[in-house]
Amino acid sequence: MRHAKSSHPLLRTFFLLALAVAGATFSLAQTQEKAPAVEQGKFRLHKFEQAIGEETYDVTANGDSLAVAINFKFTDRGSAVPLAVNFRAAKDLTPQSFEIKGKTSRLTEIDQTVEVKEGKLRLRNRDKWTDAPLPQQFFTIAGYAPATMQMLLVRYWATHGSPAELATLPTGKVKIEPRGQDVISVNGNSETLDRYLIEGLIWGRETLWFDAKHNLIAAITLDAEFDHFEAIREGYESALGTFVGRAGTDGMEALAGMTKAVSASNKETLALVGATLIDGSGRPAVSDAVVVVKSGRIVAAGPRAKTKIPKHATTVDVHGKTILPGLWDMHAHFEQVEWGPIYLAAGVTTVRDCGNEFEFITAVRDAIAAGRGLGPRLLLAGVVDGTGPLAIGVQRADTPEQARMWTNRYHDAGFQQMKIYSSVKLDELKIVAEEAHRLGMTVTGHVPEGLNGYQVIEAGQDQINHIQYVADIMHPPLPAGADRKARMQAVLDLDVNSAEAQKALSFLKAHGTVIDPTLALMEFFTATTAKPPASFEPGITKVAPELVEQLADVGPPSERSEIVEKAFEKDLQIVGALHRAGVPIVAGTDQTVPGHSLHREVELYVQAGFTPLEAIQAATIVPARVMGLARETGTVEPGKRADLIVIDGDPLADIRNARNVELVVAGGRVYNSADLWREAGFKPWKETPSAPASGN
């Protein structure tokens, strides 16, 4: 039986790989006195496929141990992100000590130590030391970075029995799965690499490739901001697109697996009976209602006494519940397959992706549309940027020709919008907008550096992402070269009733400009140890373990945090003023707390002065209108796509009840929310009975 298993081509290759690692370890032991430096390497670091930094590592023999020194640094949109790691291990890579210190993104810092001495384990997180039980088998690593530690992790796993799960210190556990081989072409030469998936270092899956000597060649992952991140060994950069595309394909296969794992119903005809219906149109709620779905469409919706239930329909008793339209997230970055079940679990049936890697997001969209993947319907905004210190990605619009080329490429790939990022120049923005409008697309995005909201809207931009760009045109103009402190003070002094603010509101209303404020993101920046994130976003207590520390780790209150808190209060006032002025507001999260932040966004609109129904509409019918799809979706009415949710409680009495999603109907297919949460590694918001069984 053992021989039969080892004869499988993949496992045989993996076995030989493990032997190669063991042989390399033996060689190190034999030659350490002559050559203490036993291994060196360099990785080029990329974000959204743009080269932004590098990582170097040195492995030296130190007595009976191996010492690894790693320097990792990139610059993301003008912010330096340096990280240093020192790792010491036995010759078989069993960890002895591990220290990691620096930043893992523009927004997150890390300072941790693991020490193993005489069978005892000590852990340090910043200034706090604790003792902990020592696992029988473990490796030391803390998140996606640096890539060298992921390489050593897989080497350790390969030579220690390839366990189904492996404990990691200071926290967590990982799963490593061989996924086959890929032949890549680099500089005219072909090379066969082994591909692996890792789960547990980040929320979701990473894809790694190794050569025959068990050197890490490429890692396709996410950084601590949930953004696409790639580490490519020096000399292999020309294959970056191949690695990204193959990782996307692997993700599609994972999505298909999720679909099979989640209980769902695809009944030909389904009747939801007994709930209160809030159809999203603005009409009064209907108690004891019936909604009938057939072949993915709503065919009837109204009072039970006046709504006929087809004879052969599968009925679901939802008495005491509330039916709402499926929700929209209008500022998503769908950068990993796990977002699919999370969005559905939260009741989100449509998302607008506001900038992504082209190969990845088109593959995800198409898989979901074809029923091969699990997730909401995706509408896409194709990002373009200009060259500059704040640039992101590789889609550059530095010339008129590039501006037209990218707009046409996105249009031809089925994108609905263009997204302007922070370094696009005014002339190129005008061309993107002109070409997009000619092709029937609209334009959303940031206000690039050096420009203001008036300029970009007059240039043809239809929508603005993030509330701070609106704040910038609601106070008197600042002198050229004003520093950050002056800009912040201008926001704090802003009066939404001033002549300058009213001028901006009138301008936005007259141009039909759409705003997605991303208030939930702005609020998250106000968190401190005195105001922990879970105090305003309870979803943090439900997220996957890999996310808990990342989201909950905040600093103590400071003078800066007081200023940020006041600025956020001003953001709420601005959103309220926009709403009163009739400027369209659409709910979006820019990720933040996966699944939960859309509900927080809607709750904040109520705090800003929306009625609960208006807040719900900002996440349903208003986005549908903005995207030109109001005839198809956005309300629960006959003839529309069957996108709706069943919740426990009355959201008009308390908007927080909208979080209590029990059933989700997406394109006519019914999912149990609790099942979806669990499939993505989260705790369910609430336990609910399973959805109707599959079958007709």
Torsion sign across C-alpha atoms 118, 124, 128, 132:
negative
Residue of 222, 444, 258 lying closest to 343 (CA atoms): 258
**77 and 422 Cβ atoms separated by less than 8 Å:** yes
The average pLDDT across 509-521 equals 98
The average pLDDT across 406-435 equals 98
Cα–Cα distance for residue pair 561/577, rounded to 1 Å: 24
Res. 260: pLDDT tops 60: yes
Q: Which residue has the tokens 């030296």?
A: 60
Q: Which residue has the tokens 């009733």?
A: 497
- What is the rounded average pLDDT for all residues in the chain? 91
Of 384 and 694, which is predicted with more confidence?
384
What domains sit in the chain, N to C, each tagged with a CATH number?
A: 2-256 (no CATH), 262-325+634-696 (2.30.40.10), 327-465 (3.20.20.140), 467-608 (no CATH)
The average pLDDT across 80-103 equals 97
pLDDT band at 32 (very low <50, low <70, confident <90, very high): very low
Res. 31: pLDDT tops 50: no
Cα–Cα distance for residue pair 420/385, rounded to 1 Å: 6
Res. 687: pLDDT tops 50: yes
Of 10 and 57, which is predicted with more confidence?
57
Q: Which one of 28-32, 128-132, 685-689 scores highest in mean pLDDT?
A: 128-132
Predicted local confidence at residue 261, as pLDDT: 67
**Which element (helix H / strand E) includes 162?**
none
Those residues whose C-beta lies under 8 Å from the C-beta of residue 52, and which sit 6 or more positions away, are 45, 46, 74, 75, 76
Res. 520: pLDDT tops 50: yes
Torsion region of 108: left, alpha or beta (phi above 0 gives left; psi -120 to 50 gives alpha): beta
Cα-based angle 43, 113, 233 (whole degrees, multiple of 5)? 5
The average pLDDT across 535-543 equals 96
Res. 324: pLDDT tops 50: yes
**pLDDT tens profile 598-622:** 999 999 999 999 999 999 999 999 9
Cα–Cα distance for residue pair 121/179, rounded to 1 Å: 34
Cα–Cα distance for residue pair 214/196, rounded to 1 Å: 12
- Give the DSSP letter string of 284-349: PPEEEEEEEEETTEEEEEEEGGG-PPPTTPEEEE-TTEEEEEPEEEEEE---STTHHHHHHHTTEE
Res. 3: pLDDT tops 50: no
Q: Which residues of 492-501 are buried (b: 16+ CB within 10 A; e: fewer)?
A: eebebeeeeb
Res. 558: pLDDT tops 70: yes
**pLDDT tens profile 50-78:** 999 999 999 999 888 999 999 999 999 99
**544 and 201 Cβ atoms separated by less than 8 Å:** no
Residue of 25, 118, 7 lying closest to 64 (CA atoms): 25
**490 and 459 Cβ atoms separated by less than 8 Å:** no
**pLDDT tens profile 628-643:** 999 999 999 999 999 9
Those residues whose C-beta lies under 8 Å from the C-beta of residue 361, and which sit 6 or more positions away, are 334, 353, 378, 380
Torsion region of 634: left, alpha or beta (phi above 0 gives left; psi -120 to 50 gives alpha): left
* Length reported for the chain: 696
The average pLDDT across 494-498 equals 96
**210 and 193 Cβ atoms separated by less than 8 Å:** yes
**pLDDT tens profile 162-176:** 999 999 999 999 999
| Amino acid in position 162 | S
**pLDDT tens profile 568-591:** 999 999 999 999 999 999 999 999
**pLDDT tens profile 360-416:** 899 889 988 988 888 999 999 999 999 998 899 999 999 999 999 999 999 999 999
Those residues whose C-beta lies under 8 Å from the C-beta of residue 92, and which sit 6 or more positions away, are 25, 156, 159, 160
Res. 645: pLDDT tops 90: yes
Residue 607: CB atoms within 10 A of its CB come to: 15
The average pLDDT across 664-693 equals 84
Predicted local confidence at residue 8, as pLDDT: 32
The average pLDDT across 425-430 equals 98
Predicted local confidence at residue 690, as pLDDT: 55
**463 and 513 Cβ atoms separated by less than 8 Å:** yes
Q: At what angle do helices 499-510 and 559-581 cross, to 10 degrees?
A: 50
**33 and 27 Cβ atoms separated by less than 8 Å:** no
pLDDT band at 28 (very low <50, low <70, confident <90, very high): very low
Query: Within a 13 Å sphere around the CA of 330, how many CA atoms are in the beta-carbon half?
Result: 32
Residue 487 burial (CB < 10 Å; 0-12/13-18/19+)?
A: middle
Of 265-269, 301-305, 338-342, the one with minimum mean pLDDT is 265-269
Predicted local confidence at residue 367, as pLDDT: 87
pLDDT band at 25 (very low <50, low <70, confident <90, very high): very low
Whether the bond into 517 is cis, omega within 30 of 0: no
Cα-based angle 185, 187, 189 (whole degrees, multiple of 5)? 50
- Give the DSSP letter string of 443-497: EEE---TT--HHHHHHTT--EEESTHHHHTTSSPPPPTT--HHHHHHHHHT--TT
Res. 102: pLDDT tops 80: yes
**Which element (helix H / strand E) includes 559?**
helix 559-581
**444 and 463 Cβ atoms separated by less than 8 Å:** yes
**536 and 528 Cβ atoms separated by less than 8 Å:** no
Predicted local confidence at residue 546, as pLDDT: 84
Predicted local confidence at residue 370, as pLDDT: 87
**pLDDT tens profile 190-215:** 999 999 999 999 988 899 999 999 99
Residue of 419, 242, 273, 432 lying closest to 333 (CA atoms): 419
